[in-house]
Structure 1
Amino acid sequence: MITWKNLDTLDSFKELSQTAKVDVADVMKGEGGAERVKKYSVPMAAGLTYHYAAKAVDDQVLEALKKLAEEAQLTEKFQALYNGEVINTGEKRLVLHHMTRGQLGNKVEADGVDKRAFYVEQQEKIADFANKVHAGEITNAAGEKFTTVVQIGIGGSDLGPRAMYLALENWAKRNNKFKMEAKFISNVDPDDAAAVLASIDVAHSIFILVSKSGTTLETLTNESFVKDALKNAGLDASKHMIAVTSETSPLAKSDDYLAAFFMDDYIGGRYSSTSAVGGAVLSLAFGPDVFAQFLKGAGEEDALAKNEDIFQNPAMLDALIGVYERNVLGYPSTAVLPYSQGLSRFPAHLQQLDMESNGKSVNRFGEPVDYVTGPVIFGEPGTNGQHSFYQLLHQGTDIIPLQFIGFKNNQMGTDVVIQGSTSQQKLCANVAAQIVAFACGKEDENQNKNFKGGRPSSIIIGEQLTPEAMGALLAHFENKVMFQGFVWNLNSFDQEGVQLGKVLAKKVLAHETEGALKELSDLLNI
């Protein structure tokens, strides 16, 4: 039987809190550090490996984390989730994003529908539509092929799909899989839509409106912006737009769209990249076969997350080490540092995934918790970040755990040799050096040049950023966030914190304001 308990009531957490602390600087030096690198790693899907030698753990800490996983029933809770129990207690909903990439457990029915069959059906419809667009069977009014796809959405309808597109764009070009350029409009700031529209040929562009409810203010505002641009160009907007929405939304059966593809309430926006939300734009941009490879990598990583042994379950182990860093060591933030230009927007996606999921101060029953929960997530690709905020990471007053991502090979297959090494070798040399520099530091009598070290990090290493590798990376972090939410006894699948501002914004636009809200509205000429 599953029980949902607060972290601070678990005996295993009290034991974890009393384990001897590990000095990262000490254990990572010399041959001891070399042995740790060989020992502390876990295989992931798609040829990736999670390495955690430079984390502040040893066998004693890891054994305590294993006990925590067992007492917190992480395996059982994940099993309940993928077998269709109501895990999103705040909204009384199932949580089914894993089902977009495979059947992990029992057949799940909701609203009288086999949900795995429903998601596969939507993927097949998207694939058929994308293939017809690429073949010139679906064209603009002049019978000409579409060359650009533009996604209109915000939050999870933008951040994840945009990050995935950018991650695979160069790979697709190198491997002759690039079908159409993709652009994204998200911000209600008119400069966002105007800039995108100015950069494309609207006559040869197809637009994807993404809104589950069909009522998202920012998205509908940007849709109107796009429709005006199409009208001004003498084009019929209904011949240039498709919708990704729920079957019950006003967009579902509207003549304003060439086609509609469906999502549902059981997949939150930040978990929707493997649903129709990501599927439509990625299938149009790269082809359905590339999207299928992406799903394959995610599905294989999900299967690893079922493993009861934390040392064979990279997402669960990563999650538990993160809980240890947050709740025992007291670290407030985590930096995600991908040494791959393709992952330039992946940290932004992980900001939403993690902070919207676990940025909670009450448990899943609405009761305040007496411990810290989700950390602040931020990041930037290396080596750019090294010339930005690494100063604080190395010598600042806060210790910030680091999550590196690196690949042995680049995506484009082009490189240059300078001073005896290639650009890719220089990139990889930098990430290896940073891990050791953060861990071991450097003593210097000049305190301004002294590095204390002891800054923990992990790294996920792969051969190349491919669709399968990207799928596995995405699923790893989704599952990490899920497991941490289970440990903290949170509902990681609602987001009430984004609602209050929306409500007040509507009052401002209706001029129903008073006090500070009225004064601020007047200052902004609303």
Structure 2
Amino acid sequence: MSNQEAILTLSSGFSFDYNNLYGQGFVTRADIENIADRLTAAHKAVNHMRATGEVRGHLSKDGVPEKVLFSQLPYVEPGNLNTPSSIARLKEFGQSLKNKVDAVISFGIGGSYLGNKVLFDVHCGEFWNSKSKEQRQGYPKLYFSGNNIDPRRTTELVALILHEANSKTVHADACKAKTTSEPYKVLLIVISKSGSTLDTMSNFMVAYDALKKEAPAIAVEVVAVTDPAEKANETLLHKLAAQEGWPMFSVPDGVGGRFSVFSEVGLVTAACIGFDIDAFLAGAQAMDKVCQTEDIWQNPAMLNAALKYLAAENYGRDIEVFMPYGDYLKSVAEWYIQLLAESLGKRTDREGREVFYGRTPIVAVGTTDMHAQTQQHQDGKKNKVVQFVKVGKWATDPVIPDVFPSAAKLSQISGFPLSQALDAAREANAAALKNDGRFNATFVLPEMNAYHLGELLYLLALSVAYEGELANVDAFDQPGVEAYKRLLGPLLRSLK
């Protein structure tokens, strides 16, 4: 396969252009052939995971065998984690909010925030909360909290809700309506498998307490997303929700937070904004089916994993810059940071030998970071793979007008759509890196929609499963996270 052929395009139009990552001066066919047996073994292991949920050597944080079930999520079938009835319940929940709830605040951290933010950004964009209810088609405003412990932002978010509630009352008074029958309705969605997540629960309790005190001007409802187990294994949040009568959705067993965007953890946010859940899961399912082939050149997840693994191991490219060309795809890069860091940043291999494996992930965005980071990418150490994401066709695409014809330099950049200027910048960046032997590749989404987003996120999730096998590390545990948690508990108790 020559460099000119190094593009894998799926029937959906989604493509992986690895011309600048494979071939002379980059990862070679010989590199791929040298790990052929390991690729075969990795593919068998991933297929075994799909069929049984079993991953060799994987244990839960409590040290007991634990299934890995994220690859089941795209398939909406009776008996699966996502069932026809669970998806129908999510949709009914979303419909129940329309024209009835003014604002939703989603409390979560890690996978309980990052994936949800991706769905919000791609579907809603930056200005959703500034739009009228009619422009939002009756869906509520949506805010995020609990993803960091920040006294100022939490206080300001509560103040904003109070201000909006007051504005609604003032508007109702001006219209001579009965204000007491129309409180400002706020739904708090609290997402925590255990119910003791410090960042999430501390912000939730502050907001819950402050807003409840504003009754009857503000009506507060709560939905809990937590471990569904009852009785002996019941979590703190599950017990609290049952006591308070809060509706519940599930954080499923066998699905780590960084893979949970395809479960009710992420889909509950999708329901709140009218995001196309069916198309999103269909895109993920289509990608999963494509990746069931053992032919590496037709399996984008295995190919992506192998090229990135070899770039790091054979050529020292142990930093990955994830660089989408689109403002609303920045959160995809932030989601990927957690996925890559927690899945592959491992001290030991499966035999307990210290290997200190993993690439350091970095977020970058289009032309923003061509100005801010590309100096380092282009002239700094040759230790990086730059992964671009391109949108093929934009829903709206203004043509740059020639409004200052007397200014020659401005006139030269007029007359073509913004998307063409954006992609010209990406092409120039990719070519400059390639010309200096700097590894890069491009994922192309035909459009920025739910289906193609499902394809991309699932490809990345499955890629880390393949790479974990190639590197002989457990891609599904996170022992390093537990290290600080063991120290944090006593520190918090000492504050009492």
TM-score normalised by length of structure 1: 0.78
Question: For residues 25-174 of structure 1, what are the structure 2 equivalents within 5 Å?
Answer: 36-37=3-4, 39-44=5-10, 46-57=12-23, 61-62=28-29, 64-66=31-33, 68-72=35-39, 73-87=41-55, 89-91=58-60, 92-102=65-75, 115-116=79-80, 119-134=83-98, 145-170=100-125
Which segment is superposed worse, 306-315 or 123-132?
Answer: 123-132
Q: Secondary structure at the match of 1:251?
A: helix
Q: Structure 2: how far apart are the matches of 1:334 and 1:117?
A: 32
User: Partner of 2:186 in structure 1?
Assistant: 205
User: Partner of 1:193 in structure 2?
Assistant: 154
Deviation at 1:181, TM superposition (A): 2.9
User: Partner of 2:144 in structure 1?
Assistant: 184
Q: Which amino acid aligns with 1:349?
A: W
Q: Which amino acid aligns with 2:29?
A: L
Q: Structure 1: how far apart are the matches of 2:395 and 2:362?
A: 24
Q: Structure 2: how far apart are the matches of 1:45 and 1:359?
A: 33
Q: Residues 183 and 412 of structure 1: is their aligned pair in 2 closer, same or farther, counting only changes over 3 Å?
A: farther
Q: Secondary structure at the match of 2:105?
A: strand
Deviations 1:276-309 (CA, angstroms, capped at 9, x unpaired): 110001111125xx12111111111111121100
Q: 2:363 aligned to 379, 386, 396, which one?
A: 379
User: Partner of 1:322 in structure 2?
Assistant: 308
Q: 1:275 aligned to 260, 263, 271, which one?
A: 263
Q: 2:420 aligned to 401, 417, 425, which one?
A: 425
User: Partner of 2:481 in structure 1?
Assistant: 498
**Residues 97 and 140, structure 2, Cα contact 8 Å, conserved in 1:** no
User: Partner of 2:327 in structure 1?
Assistant: 341
Q: Secondary structure at the match of 2:35?
A: helix
Q: Structure 2: how far apart are the matches of 1:236 and 1:280?
A: 26
Q: Secondary structure at the match of 1:510?
A: helix
Question: For residues 220-369 of structure 1, what are the structure 2 equivalents within 5 Å?
Answer: 220-234=201-215, 239-248=220-229, 249-252=235-238, 253-256=241-244, 258-287=246-275, 290-365=276-351, 367-369=352-354
**Residues 73 and 81, structure 2, Cα contact 8 Å, conserved in 1:** no
**Residues 46 and 468, structure 1, Cα contact 8 Å, conserved in 2:** no
Q: Structure 1: how far apart are the matches of 2:80 and 2:34?
A: 33
For structure 1, which runs of at least 5 residues remain unmatched after alignment?
1-31, 108-113, 137-144, 441-452, 513-525
Q: Structure 2: how far apart are the matches of 1:387 and 1:167?
A: 24
Which segment is superposed worse, 268-277 or 71-80?
Answer: 71-80
Deviation at 1:429, TM superposition (A): 0.6
Q: Which amino acid aligns with 1:90?
A: L
**Residues 171 and 411, structure 1, Cα contact 8 Å, conserved in 2:** no
Q: Structure 2: how far apart are the matches of 1:312 and 1:171?
A: 36
User: How large is the RMSD of aligned CA atoms in angstroms?
Assistant: 2.8
**Residues 158 and 211, structure 2, Cα contact 8 Å, conserved in 1:** no
Q: Which amino acid aligns with 1:95?
A: V
**Residues 408 and 428, structure 1, Cα contact 8 Å, conserved in 2:** no
Q: Structure 2: how far apart are the matches of 1:67 and 1:121?
A: 47
TM-score normalised by length of structure 2: 0.83
User: Partner of 2:232 in structure 1?
Assistant: none
Deviation at 1:124, TM superposition (A): 2.4
Q: Secondary structure at the match of 1:90?
A: coil
**Residues 347 and 380, structure 1, Cα contact 8 Å, conserved in 2:** yes
User: Partner of 1:14 in structure 2?
Assistant: none
Count of residue correspondences:
445
Q: Structure 1: how far apart are the matches of 2:199 and 2:87?
A: 26
User: Partner of 2:410 in structure 1?
Assistant: none
Q: Structure 2: how far apart are the matches of 1:66 and 1:167?
A: 39
Which segment is superposed worse, 255-264 or 311-320?
Answer: 255-264
Q: Structure 2: how far apart are the matches of 1:235 and 1:115?
A: 42
**Residues 296 and 302, structure 2, Cα contact 8 Å, conserved in 1:** yes
Aligned residues with identical type, % of pairs:
23
Which segment is superposed worse, 342-351 or 410-419?
Answer: 410-419
User: Partner of 1:27 in structure 2?
Assistant: none
**Residues 151 and 208, structure 1, Cα contact 8 Å, conserved in 2:** yes
Deviations 1:469-521 (CA, angstroms, capped at 9, x unpaired): 11111011111111111111111111111122122122112229xxxxxxxxx
Q: Residues 243 and 457 of structure 1: is their aligned pair in 2 closer, same or farther, counting only changes over 3 Å?
A: same
Q: Does 1:481 align with 2:464?
A: yes
